Amino acid sequence: MTMPPPLSRSGCPMLHGAAFAARPLAVYDQLRSQGPVGWAEIAPNVHALVVTQHRAAITLLNDSRTYSKDSRRWAALADGQVPTDSPVLGMMAWRPSVLYTDGEEHARLRRAMDDCIARIDPHRLREITRRSALSLIGRVVGQGHADLMADFADVVPMLVFAELLGCPPEMTGRMVHACQDLISAGTEAARGAADFAGLLFELIQLRRARPGQDLTSWMITHDAELSDDEALHQLFCAVGAGIIPVAACTAWTLHLLLRDDEYAGSLSAGTLTVRRALEKALWQRPPMANFSVHFARHDTNLHGAHIPGGVPVLISHAAANTDPALPRDLGYDNRAHLAWSAGPHRCPAISQATTIVQSAVETILDQLWDMTLADDNPEPLLRHGPFHQCPQSMHVTFRPKSRDRRPATALAGGIS
């Protein structure tokens, strides 16, 4: 008999730790037993409400009159009940960015974000992604084995964003290393966040002196007239919201293509197969499993569940996507999933994110066409933490390619 995951000392399901990483679906079932919204421990001694019902999630995400994104409303944090070193504060503590604002201030920052992202040329984005992917493949193609996470999926979006931000070559390596520390979810995370913020400040000063055709220059010259602090946090949000989800989506799409019989035997079908696998991955494995944090402005009810004011309310995109109440014949091509969230805070870069994932996946499948997963376990071990749903590693093997078959491309950005 399979034992249920352990509960916290307060009797709540735990959305963190090894047990949650090993069996997230069982934890979502525990939460569903409480109704459309349930209490969970998201870090040691930190509690939140989690929405698991798809219909309730849509209601909340579109109700900005009742719910705020401003985490300064978090009563337990204001009262000193949240440990100052809690790992969730990196994602939940307030910053002057589009992610934590409402109303007119959110509209101003969101307009700047939308306008800057819209200026990214899709053809250039595909070229940057392909070049970055080839540079990483060139490192492992002669080995006959690789970890698709550490060697590929984790690093591709870092290289892409470094170029989109306008990083000079001498800064790219530092930015990649800072991002790697940032996403580690370990002791290096706080240092990585500080290093990354410092690099963004340095880059903003550089681009104020010498503007270019890049996200940093567009952000600081936008007619929304962002301060340096606002521009820094806007860029921090854009990169933070892009790197880990894109890495996870790349990994899960590759996992489906290499593991699932529906796709594995038909890779020669080309782009359509990759895009369909990507959409299925977004339904089954949304990279941001639990996020979209809101705070009720006052005590209220959500589909019969009591929501106290000042309590963080997370949307479980993963649980909502697998809500038993959803029609069984909905189909993975239906894009009603919540992987990109919904409402006024819906992801502003859906097209750009899917372009990076699709281009990266197509490139590695073209270069390492004979790779196979080295682990027979259909459920890779996940990285710990309540927010992201990302494999710890994904080892593959393939026939080593000789030097004359390796991608002839320079290493993007000069990382080492």
Burial code (b: 16+ CB inside 10 Å, e: under 16) for 115-132 equals: ebbeebeeeebbebbbbb
Q: How far is CA 90 from CA 182, 221, 299, 319, 327, in A?
A: 10, 28, 26, 23, 36
Model pLDDT, residue 266:
61
Q: Is 188 exposed, middle or buried (0-12, 13-18, 19+ CB in 10 A)?
A: middle
Instruction: Tell me the pLDDT band of 270, cut-offs 50, 70 and 90.
Output: low
On average, the pLDDT of the chain sits at 89
Helix axis angle for 189-209 and 169-182, nearest 10°, is 150
Domain coordinates in residue numbering, the chain: 1-63+65-96+289-338
pLDDT of residue 196: 84
The tokens of 153 are what? 């999926």
Whole-number Cα distances in Å, 175 to 39, 200, 297, 414, 416 = 37, 9, 38, 11, 12
- Which residue matches tokens 């196979």? 372
416 confidence band (pLDDT: 50, 70, 90): very low
Q: What pLDDT does 329 receive?
A: 75
Q: How far apart are CA 167 and CA 351, in angstroms?
A: 23
Q: What is the pLDDT of residues 361-414, one digit of tens each?
A: 999 999 999 999 998 877 888 988 899 899 999 999 999 987 555 555 444 444
Can you tell me the mean pLDDT for 211-219?
Answer: 96
pLDDT digits (tens, 9 = 90+) for 57-92: 999 999 999 999 999 999 999 999 999 888 888 889
Q: What is the pLDDT of residue 37?
A: 98
Q: Which residue has the higher pLDDT, 309 or 334?
A: 309
| Three-state secondary structure call for residue 326 | coil
CA atoms within 13 A on the CB side of 350: 13
- Mean pLDDT calculated for residue range 122-142: 96
Stretch 317-337: mean pLDDT: 87
CB atoms < 10 A from the CB of 87, how many? 21
Specify the residue for token string 């290289």.
159
* CATH ID of 1-63+65-96+289-338, from 3.90.480.20, 3.90.1300.10, 3.40.50.720, 3.30.43.20: 3.30.43.20
Q: Is 140 exposed, middle or buried (0-12, 13-18, 19+ CB in 10 A)?
A: buried
d(CA 132, CA 415): 11
pTM: 0.92
Report the pLDDT averaged over residues 309-318: 98
Give the CA count within 13 Å in the CB-facing half-sphere of 161: 29
The answer to whether residues 337 and 286 touch, using CB atoms and an 8 Å cutoff, is yes
The residue whose two tokens read 């969101």 is 110
Q: Please tell me the distance from the alpha carbon of residue 256 to that of residue 258, in angstroms, as a whole number.
A: 5
Share of the chain above pLDDT 90, in %: 71
Examine the pLDDT at 183 and tell me if it is beyond 70: no
